[in-house]
Structure 1
């Protein structure tokens, strides 16, 4: 009897001490689809980047470009021919082999005339993609570009198979350490460890991404333990409650998210009006009111932690008297349509900015849009006057060189700066060009630049390996584990 009791107790102790191998991650926004090569929403990458899909290269948690499906690469002396050596034994989650032909298919598809890739510009410099042999890919560029490995690290450049490319939007098939299992729309996405993964197996066996749009519901879910980690927590005003609770760890870092009051430059054609809008906005009041103090003021579309950043906040400093002077020069201004997507920074920030604009004589009409509506009406159809959004893609000032981008800024001088910055190999020369580019869009008041989005997260204190900063839009679970 004593022996049986001891054995039972030992079994119970072993079970209690077994390391947890599943995790539930909270997200405020649900992705519109699950294919990062076919959508602009950050929420897509937040689920699948590095987890389900992989590219030739990838971003690490410190922002460095690291090998992924390509174990190494070489570049020719003229900077135009890049040769990538692929890892052996890589398979897609449907069991088919991944080889050089899949890379050719992926990159040709991304740069094709009918491509729906949101970052098609990343591939425009590619002349040819060739499969030298199953394990080797040769990419030839029209112009030398030392940023090719960086461009290939984006979620928009993950490798897909021709057999599953068209259905990845609802049932993604990648090469990553986790395979897609289920998507209960409106609720969650589930992934599970892929046992035939070519690389190091993750510690986690399963992960669930749970979508909770309401900040109060998010707070309750984390407090109750229904959510293990909420890397981009939507209720920063409640973080102090978690900081004082030993069950949790509050994780505050930086992101690549330039939060802007974006303006439709095809509608707001008078630079003086755009300047007036910028001078009407008290950035710190927006940060305090919408983000409860979390955020860094910016005066151009560039991350303050980037070594090439120029602080240009004074060019559009809060100056309501100057805003009124400019509006007097402009004349009558019609009511402007302010379209707001779901994130708290947009909804809360929009109300504050509308009030600030009203104080100088600019009236706005606020329309709250769901994410899919915002992507269709604002991003795709450019049917808006003003909107608020965080651009979370890394080092993406080049979007201002695209006249067809949703804020429709067309400046040949700026386009030449970006083109030249892509050609030079000297970091010093490139930095000088990027600084001129920052100054150009600030001078043109393309948008009203608000703040760099902070990464405010909360997690169970026993979890380690979550990213502190966000060099790209991802919830990379490859290094996440429970400590007990």
Structure 2
């Protein structure tokens, strides 16, 4: 096959990246060594196996165990990592990866082309894996060319394959020795990756502990141990930071930022590739009705939450993407706060306001199940609950504890839910969210019994397939806009706002890096 090299990035580029991100290698020899870094984590992690992780809360802790094949830098551009370089065929259907030859897994096994093949095949073979559907639709074969060269042939063109698949956490390799023992039932058990830290312990609903990898291919970390303490109550983060008992928090109460800064903590605010949303299950209960979903959107005052809870830190979302990003389209309609319109929509649908302020129809009160994760989402959801009550919708409010939210949400055990999604780039995020068959899709539309919604699901599949196979960015933006408009027309979700990530670090934490909502600790050190 005639191949043109679209991306052949050498080890020199990797060295330059290391100098840019983490300071000079020589400087690392002079920094303080040892110590334990304690991180206040906003939710209980219920999964550290990246093949099954769909949430950034889990990934942010577990990614230290592994390395990507290709790393997306702070600008979202691909950089060499475990793959030193790569070639893409003229028709973008064959990807050839040239791997490093000096990497070992934590159990001593060699990282090589067979390990990459085995990890990708693991996802192809396991329906419970997060990217199973995407991989089986896209990847035709994975072949070992030689010890450190692997060739991936696509069966369907995917213009963002490099970004959405090869740079995705799904294909961060674990030792082939561990693969036969992994399943959705072993998601909190340790395994051997290639990353800067190794698994030490996991205590459900309490903590996740890592220790330094002395044999890491980029050099051993400076810190001996990293402990992620699961603290869902964000006010506790502030207390622990002020007491000096935790070193880092990646989730803060916005109103506490000034206090923390006044006590000498460093505050990092960075844009996040993600969106907060009110998801609505279109396949069950009250939210299977279009009128109810439309009324809910007009009853929610997004700006009030942004102003009162986020202190103005947030941009109202048009259709899931913020202004200025590659897939933003001003041609997609917006949804405005209009409680009077919400009331009229419900009136016309036969939902009558009762003396108790709750609407009903045919003797059934309008009380959708409102499931939420703990922490900030639950606090925001309480405001939404009150706003909905003003138009006669009385939700059955629930906060899922103990790391149960993700599985319940994915299984559709809700009618309404306040949550957020994100990705490494806007193309991967929107694709994952709107696809009816995606692992983390936002509305359960594929389970609907409404013929019209099933037709919409088919249309979304066609749009997403067209977008993924479109190389021209302008054409892809126009294609995505059609999908976004379907979401607006059928009220398939309510996109709320885009908020930056806010991280607090003690002044003695140095040498870290933070981008793409992710804290990198390989070069971090503790200098008290």
Q: What TM-score comes out, normalization by structure 2 length?
A: 0.82
1:257 alignment counterpart: 274
CA distance in 1, matches of 2:61, 2:508: 22
CA distance in 1, matches of 2:322, 2:510: 26
Matched, 1:476 2:520: yes
Matched, 1:397 2:430: yes
Counting only pairs closer than 5 Å after superposition, residues 204-283 of structure 1 correspond to structure 2 as 204-233=223-252, 235-245=253-263, 247-267=264-284, 268-283=287-302
* Structure 1 stretches lacking a partner, 5+ long: 1-16
CA distance in 1, matches of 2:216, 2:189: 21
Matched, 1:343 2:357: no
Residues 48 and 189 in structure 2, CA contact (< 8 A), matched pair in contact too: yes
2:112 alignment counterpart: 99
Change (3 A) 1:390 1:467: farther
1:359 alignment counterpart: 390
Matched, 1:38 2:49: no
Local SS of the residue matching 1:98: coil
Change (3 A) 1:21 1:427: farther
Matched, 1:76 2:110: no
Change (3 A) 1:215 1:110: same
Instruction: Report the Cα offset of residue 273 of structure 1.
Output: 2.2
1:118 alignment counterpart: 130
1:112-154 Cα offsets, whole Å, 9 max, x none, are: 2x33112323313000001111101100001222312212222
Instruction: Report the Cα offset of residue 173 of structure 1.
Output: 1.3
Q: How many residues align?
A: 460
CA distance in 2, matches of 1:468, 1:96: 30
Residues 298 and 311 in structure 1, CA contact (< 8 A), matched pair in contact too: no
- One of 409, 415, 434 as aligned partner of 2:480: 434
CA distance in 2, matches of 1:375, 1:460: 30
Residues 101 and 148 in structure 2, CA contact (< 8 A), matched pair in contact too: yes
Counting only pairs closer than 5 Å after superposition, residues 75-474 of structure 1 correspond to structure 2 as 75-112=88-125, 114-123=126-135, 124-150=137-163, 151-165=165-179, 166=182, 169-233=188-252, 235-245=253-263, 247-267=264-284, 268-304=287-323, 306-310=325-329, 315-332=334-351, 334-344=366-376, 346-370=377-401, 372-380=403-411, 382-394=412-424, 395=426, 396-398=429-431, 399-403=433-437, 405=441, 407-409=443-445, 410=454, 411=456, 412-469=458-515, 471=516, 474=518
Residues 31 and 41 in structure 1, CA contact (< 8 A), matched pair in contact too: no
Instruction: Report the Cα offset of residue 288 of structure 1.
Output: 2.9
CA distance in 2, matches of 1:148, 1:52: 24
Q: CA RMSD in A?
A: 2.3
Local SS of the residue matching 2:293: helix
CA distance in 1, matches of 2:226, 2:405: 28
Residues 256 and 303 in structure 1, CA contact (< 8 A), matched pair in contact too: no
* Structure 2 stretches lacking a partner, 5+ long: 1-29, 352-359, 361-365, 446-453
Local SS of the residue matching 2:228: strand
Instruction: Report the Cα offset of residue 401 of structure 1.
Output: 1.9
1:233-268 Cα offsets, whole Å, 9 max, x none, are: 3x22211101222x2111111212311110001132
Residues 29 and 211 in structure 1, CA contact (< 8 A), matched pair in contact too: yes
Q: Is the deviation greater in 298-307 or in 95-104?
A: 298-307
Instruction: Report the Cα offset of residue 52 of structure 1.
Output: 0.9
Residues 329 and 477 in structure 2, CA contact (< 8 A), matched pair in contact too: no
Change (3 A) 1:222 1:312: farther
Local SS of the residue matching 2:334: helix
Change (3 A) 1:478 1:121: farther
Q: Is the deviation greater in 443-452 or in 186-195?
A: 186-195
Instruction: Report the Cα offset of residue 223 of structure 1.
Output: 0.8
